[in-house]
Amino acid sequence: DVKVTQSSRYLVKRTGEKVFLECVQDMDHENMFWYRQDPGLGLRLIYFSYDVKMKEKGDIPEGYSVSREKKERFSLILESASTNQTSMYLCASSLVRVIAYGYNEQFFGPGTRLTVL
């Protein structure tokens, strides 16, 4: 079974702190994603990565950066946390970037609920 783990389930940080959210997958997936989930807004893509050291901006990248130094690990960084970044953060991975037929679903981690005070 694919397993996606996130470093923390709950995190409380202060405004202005640098925050690292870590995500690890164990199935050699090419793609990794960071989403933010807010009530009434669904999931919004922050960044994704399709290979080591490769990244692309999603729909809401402002205030965030990412790092993918190893294939299995994808980190989300909040350089200077702000209260409007209080949210649930979900990491996901999927097998390949381009699929000729069929599908490959995204496998999600349990989420990190971040509160910025």
Partner 1 sequence: AQKITQTQPGMFVQEKEAVTLDCTYDTSDPSYGLFWYKQPSSGEMIFLIYQGSYDQQNATEGRYSLNFQKARKSANLVISASQLGDSAMYFCAMREGARDDKIIFGKGTRLHILP
The minimum distance between CB 44 and partner 1, in angstroms, equals 8
Select from 19-27, 60-68, 74-82, 95-103 the region that touches partner 1 (CB under 8 A). Answer: 95-103
Q: Does 69 bind partner 1 (CB under 8 A)?
A: no
Q: Count Cβ atoms below 10 Å from residue 45 Cβ, excluding itself.
A: 16
Q: Does 99 bind partner 1 (CB under 8 A)?
A: yes
Q: Which of 45, 61, 71, 73 binds partner 1 (CB under 8 A)?
A: 45
Locate 19 and state its tokens.
């925050």
The minimum distance between CB 80 and partner 1, in angstroms, equals 26
HEC readout, 7-76: CCCEEEECCCCCEEEEEEECCCCCEEEEEEEECCCEEEEEEEEEECCEEEECCCCCCCEEEEEECCEEEE
Q: Does 111 bind partner 1 (CB under 8 A)?
A: yes
